[in-house]
Amino acid sequence: MALLFLIIILGASIGSFLTVVIFRTSTQETIIFRHSRCSNCRHRLHPHDLIPMLSYLLRGGKCAYCKTRISGLYPLIELTTTLAFVLAFFISVLVSKDILTQLIIFFCQALLFSVLLVILFRYLNKNRKTMR
């Protein structure tokens, strides 16, 4: 049960990072050296503002500083990634009894899903001028 909880945390965290990759690469911004900011008021977000899905729900989908609506794509990508990681975990457990094999299967599936998700949303963003 503790391992499943860790998989959920990992999925939500990776999903949060994938939103950064998707949105920042769409605007030619760096994904590494810049802190997260509100896309409207440009206020630097603090760690408590960046808790995947939870921050969005607690703030009613609005920026804590300027109260502008935040795109629902952020929690959608985080939730989708979390669910995919949980599914990959269960598949890896069903496929093999060997722990090393389970880890390899899980990480391969998680990596494949993450790459495909970024490609999908980058494609959608390219064909739709704004996703924010």
Per-residue H/E/C for 83-106: HHHHHHHHHHHHHCCCHHHHHHHH
Single-letter residue type at 123: Y
Q: What is the pTM of this model?
A: 0.86
* CA 27 vs CA 6, 12, 70, 107, 131: distances in Å: 32, 23, 17, 29, 11
Q: What element of type H or E holds 41? A: none
Q: What is the pLDDT along the chain (132 residues), one digit of tens a residue?
A: 899 999 999 999 999 999 999 988 877 788 887 888 888 899 999 998 989 999 999 999 999 999 999 989 999 999 999 999 999 999 999 999 999 999 999 999 999 999 999 999 888 877 765 555
